[in-house]
Amino acid sequence: MPKPSPISPTVDFDRDGVQHGFLRLPYSRDDSAWGSVMIPICVVRNGEGPTALLTGANHGDEYEGPLALYELARTLEPGQVSGTVIIVPAMNYPAFRAGTRTSPIDKGNMNRSFPGRPDGTVTEKIADYFQRELLPRADLVFDFHSGGRTLDFLPYCAAHILPDKAQEAKAFAAVEAFSAPYSMKMREIDAVGMYDTAAEEMGKVFITTELGGGGTARAETVRIARRGIANVLRHAGILDGAVEKTPTRWLDMPSGDCFIFAEEDGMFETMADLGEDVHEGMVIARIHSIGRTGGPPQEIRAKMSGLLAARHFPGLIKTGDCMCVVAR
């Protein structure tokens, strides 16, 4: 038998009404001998019906999700809901508090920690609680992401290309309802340990976003997040009202040629902005060596035609950094 989770919720998932509480995880440390990590959670329930599980700050330096979800938790009323909405606006709460992608406690990347462990690190314990307690309750799982401090994305809502085409179609329909300017049929570089994969393997409808980045949020991307999550809940029949559809442009990541990684350190110059058309062979970025003057920049060419969907954000780049993503 697996061990029980050390996390105890202060909310009752089966009670009608609005509850604001915590997932309390004991964490003994220098400044608090019998202390706990208190992860904020909101449950809004109104009778029988589908359950949506909504999360932000899976990575702690991505802000559209938390901005949309703290507000949704503050404003959502049970009378508007049929079923249950579970909101965890800052999933990797220690990372969110530190403003970093990974947890300052154990360096855990939440989205590489699934299925987690009840006797593992703090990050693994949180992942385990989602894996065994929260995901099984959900019909619809929505996890907000943005680029964080090191990437910037075109604003898109996304779901994965899946072997189960019925499950895939439900996810793509929810993406369409979100009505971001772009919608992505997504492929992963490395799907092991992801929350996405955990939800999909349980047969859940899993939807995510990339809504910007740079370690902040823009007015436009926050508007997209707030309107989009309401649309997805309406589409699922959980929130009353009609979906406010706006046109979206579908994008596809057909192969590994979408991704370009830096093979040198230096100063990064993008030669196309997000959303600009690029064609195969075109120089889309340059890396300038900064150790001395006089050297030519390294020219980085697109491996396929499409448009620039993501770019490295900071001005300097290191070998191995993801530099550009081209989508079609």
- The 10 Å Cβ neighbour count of residue 182 is 21
Work out whether 149 is an interface residue with Zn ion (CB under 5 A).
no
Shortest spacing between CB 228 and Zn ion, in angstroms: 16
Beta carbon of residue 305, minimum distance to Zn ion (angstroms, whole number): 27
Stretch that binds Zn ion, among 53-61, 63-71, 86-94, 238-246 (CB under 5 A): 53-61
How many residues sit in the footprint of Zn ion (CB under 5 A)? 3
Nearest CB to Zn ion, comparing residues 37 and 151: 151
Minimum CB separation of residue 62 from Zn ion in Å reads 5
Considering only 8-16, 57-65, 117-125, 232-240, which stretch makes contact with Zn ion by CB under 5 A? Answer: 57-65
Q: Which of 45, 59, 125, 312 binds Zn ion (CB under 5 A)?
A: 59
CB 181 within 8 A of CB 249: yes
* Between 147 and 266, CB nearer to Zn ion: 147
Site residues (CB under 5 A) for Zn ion, limited to 33-52: none
Strand 36-46 and strand 83-88: the pairing is: antiparallel
Tell me how far apart the alpha carbons of residues 295 and 152 are, in angstroms, rounded to a whole number.
28
| String of DSSP letters for 149-162 | TTEEE--EEEEE--
Based on CB atoms, which residue is closest to Zn ion, 62 or 152?
A: 62
| In 57-147, alpha helices (H) | 64-75, 93-98, 122-129
Q: Give the CA distances from residue 275 to residues 136, 151, 181, 229, in Å, rounded to whole numbers and listed in that order.
A: 37, 14, 11, 23
Among 125, 145, 149, 185, binds Zn ion (CB under 5 A): 145
Backbone Cα Rg of the chain? 20
DSSP H/E element including 172: helix 165-178
Residues that bind Zn ion in the complex, under the rule CB under 5 A: 59, 62, 145
